Amino acid sequence: MRCHRCNKDFPSIYYFQAPGLCNECFDRLSDDEKTAARRPAAIHALTTTAFTIDGYKIVKSLGIVRGITVRSRSLFGTIGASLQTIVGGNIALFTDLCEQTREEAFEMMLAHAQERGGNAVIGIRYDATEVMQGVNEVICYGTAVIVEPAG
Ligand SMILES: [Zn+2]
């Protein structure tokens, strides 16, 4: 896979932050450019946990696509969260971390789907496991498909 910007070749999608944009090139973008590059707007509208999309028919199934992120909790965050555990309630520090991690896995899955030529992802699921103490893996997967407006 090549980065469209620097034209370097990378072994897998996990070296990319956005479709056709490697980690290095991505880091050099401004915040606005990052947001824009990261969100494949067209495909975002066509993602679902169901296996059909209203108003569209599936013309081709391209198989399972996934995105994986592995994150460790920072020591600082862990201490903060431990304090919150004592207080009780929703542990905001971990909620934020999980949310970010899932978002990344989701975006990566979408990039993967687009790369296969899909324009929608159906049957989306998340799964998370603790790889080791304090290190979590989040996987987001679904079936990449090509859809057409039903009509
Ligand atoms: Zn690059």
**93 vs 139, residue with greater confidence:** 139
Query: What pLDDT is attached to residue 94?
Result: 66
Among 82-86, 100-104, 142-146, the range scoring the smallest mean pLDDT is 82-86
| 116 alpha carbon – ligand 1 mean position (Å) | 20
- Quick: pLDDT tens for 112-137: 998 898 989 999 999 988 888 778 88
Query: What pLDDT is attached to residue 141?
Result: 95
Q: Give the count of beta carbons closer than 10 Å to the beta carbon of residue 116.
A: 12
| 109 alpha carbon – ligand 1 mean position (Å) | 19
Looking at the predicted structure, is the pLDDT value of residue 85 above 70?
Answer: no
Query: What pLDDT is attached to residue 6?
Result: 92
**What string of H, E and C letters represents the secondary structure of the chain?**
CECCCCCCECCCHHHEEECCEEHHHHHCCCHHHHHHHHCCHHHHCCECCCCCCCCEEEEEEEEEEEEEEEEECCHHHHHHHHHHHHHCCCCHHHHHHHHHHHHHHHHHHHHHHHHCCCCEEEEEEEEEEEEECCEEEEEEEEEEEEEEECC
| 89 alpha carbon – ligand 1 mean position (Å) | 43
| 144 alpha carbon – ligand 1 mean position (Å) | 25
Angstrom CA distances, 34 to 23, 50, 102, 120, 135, stand at: 11, 29, 17, 22, 26
| Percent of the chain with pLDDT strictly greater than 90 | 23
Domains identified in the chain and CATH numbers: 1-38 (no CATH), 41-149 (3.30.110.70)
| 42 alpha carbon – ligand 1 mean position (Å) | 23
Task: Work out the mean pLDDT of the chain and round it to a whole number.
Answer: 82
| 40 alpha carbon – ligand 1 mean position (Å) | 18
